[in-house]
Amino acid sequence: MTDISPFQTPSQKQNEREAKRKAVLRAAVRIFNERGFHATLLEDVAVSLGISKPTIYHYLGNKEQVLLQCVLHGLEQLMEAAESAQQAPGRGIDRLRNYLRRYAEINMDDFGRCVIRTGDETLSEEGRSKFRALKGEIDLAMRALIEQAIADGSIAPCDSKLLAFTLAGALNWPARWFSPQGTQSKEEVAEQMVDLLTAGFAPR
Amino acid sequence: MTDISPFQTPSQKQNEREAKRKAVLRAAVRIFNERGFHATLLEDVAVSLGISKPTIYHYLGNKEQVLLQCVLHGLEQLMEAAESAQQAPGRGIDRLRNYLRRYAEINMDDFGRCVIRTGDETLSEEGRSKFRALKGEIDLAMRALIEQAIADGSIAPCDSKLLAFTLAGALNWPARWFSPQGTQSKEEVAEQMVDLLTAGFAPR
């Protein structure tokens, strides 16, 4: 039987650092969502993890940098969902609907909620341009899925830009009202909302 | 010929006071929408009107009170639209669609934009409960219109609460992206969005 070394390998150190960074990010995003950026104190984030404020600076930087990393993480989740929808086989409408459900679910989750609730004006100039650029990419990805579905005839011809904004708005909004303590799970809410948007409210 | 008196009657004084209050409110709402609450200085609102900061305090109070009156004014516009939709004759779907168009137009306008862009957490406890109560009434008014349209068979049976949230979200979102400098007017955008939501994106 070999002894377990008390010294970490470089890859263990790297993993541990990443795990700590993520734990701080998760604690911070919840407090941002609950109180808003201006009323959030990094001190409270630190207390919620039993660590010191300088430890947060060490892993993530100042409050605005912490917020920026929260929204970038949310936008990454949305980009991953868009990319996997792009690569999926099948009819355009099915790929679009799968993406929309996933998009809504992310927006009901901690990091997606933070994306929606963060106004551009909260970020520094540099953060703001990153934030806007990524949101622009996500808009374009939704529009591309819509155009593919129009092209294969599985959705009705329309102004793809306006449809993308309409769908995004409807599915962003749960970030403001969804409560995980409610009677429906985020998956159920996402599915029903996407069905309403697919069929429209006029009888078929 | 009678001389015009240089002294105002009480009703003239009252009208003048109200006109000044509204001018301050209009100047303030634009700066809030542009910069966000925290970056807005009442000093800049005053400068934009060629008046002093104490004059703003006199007509509207401190910055949070000014914001509260901006959002309450936006919510009043939405309530008026809901009431006039309630009283209109015709099929439920037509009354709902008229209301949705008006709802979207208001949200692309100064005061409606301010309602959407203001997070609860920006307001004081007292302001917050007024803000939430009025938003709740507007949600209920939309839900009532949906239920009347389901009852008369002009829209498809569905979960009226979830449909109301879905429609509201889609039609709130232009507060974040619509630009009056764009190629389409707010009336055109509102009409097209409501058509997309009515018909859904699946071919009919």
The answer to whether A93 faces chain B, any CB pair under 8 Å, is yes
The nearest alpha carbon in chain A to B192 belongs to A162
What's the ipTM? 0.88
Sign for the CA dihedral angle at A153, A157, A161, A163 comes to: negative
Q: What is the pLDDT of residues B34-88, one digit of tens each?
A: 988 988 999 999 999 999 999 999 999 999 999 999 999 999 999 999 999 999 9
Token pair 């001389």 in the structure block, residue: B3
> Are B172 and A177 inside 8 Å of each other by CB?
no
> Are B202 and A173 inside 8 Å of each other by CB?
no
Residues in chain A: 204
Which part of chain B is CATH 1.10.357.10?
Answer: 64-199
Segment A13-42 shows an average pLDDT of: 92
Q: How many CA atoms are closer than 13 Å to the CA of B178, on its beta-carbon side?
A: 28
Segment B129-139 shows an average pLDDT of: 94
The answer to whether B138 faces chain A, any CB pair under 8 Å, is no
pTM of this prediction?
Answer: 0.89
Q: What is the pLDDT of residues B78-130, one digit of tens each?
A: 999 999 999 999 999 999 999 999 999 999 999 999 999 888 888 999 999 99
> Are A192 and B167 inside 8 Å of each other by CB?
no
Sign for the CA dihedral angle at A30, A35, A40, A46 comes to: negative
Which fold would CATH assign to domain A69-199? Tetracycline Repressor; domain 2 (1.10.357)
Which part of chain A is CATH 1.10.10.60?
Answer: 10-61
Which part of chain A is CATH 1.10.357.10?
Answer: 69-199
Lowest mean pLDDT among A74-83, B117-126, B153-162: B117-126
The nearest alpha carbon in chain A to B196 belongs to A163
User: Long-range contact list for B52-59, CB < 8 A, 24+ apart?
Assistant: B55/B24, B56/B24, B56/B28, B59/B17, B59/B20, B59/B21, B59/B24
Q: For all residues of chain A together, what is the average pLDDT?
A: 93
Q: Reply yes or no on domain B64-199 having CATH 1.10.357.10.
A: yes
> Are B162 and A117 inside 8 Å of each other by CB?
no
> What DSSP element (H or E) covers B114?
helix B110-117
Q: B186-199: buried (b, 16+ CB within 10 Å) or exposed (e) per residue?
A: beebbbbbbbbbbb
Which fold would CATH assign to domain A10-61? Arc Repressor Mutant, subunit A (1.10.10)
Question: Contact B157/B92 with Cβ under 8 angstroms?
Answer: no
d(CA B115, CA B138): 12
Which of A124, A139, A201 would you mutate first to test chain B, the one with the most B CBs within 10 A? A201
For B124, list phi and psi in degrees, rounded to 5. -70, 165
Sign for the CA dihedral angle at A21, A123, B105, A163 comes to: negative
> What DSSP element (H or E) covers A44?
helix A42-49
The answer to whether A174 faces chain B, any CB pair under 8 Å, is yes
Q: How many CA atoms are closer than 13 Å to the CA of B165, on its beta-carbon side?
A: 18
Question: Contact B160/B143 with Cβ under 8 angstroms?
Answer: yes
Multiple choice CATH, B12-61, 3.20.20.480, 3.40.50.300, 3.40.50.2300, 1.10.10.60:
1.10.10.60
> Are B196 and A35 inside 8 Å of each other by CB?
no
The answer to whether B125 faces chain A, any CB pair under 8 Å, is no
The answer to whether B39 faces chain A, any CB pair under 8 Å, is yes
> What DSSP element (H or E) covers A5?
none
Instruction: State the pLDDT confidence band at A110, using cuts at 50, 70 and 90.
Output: very high
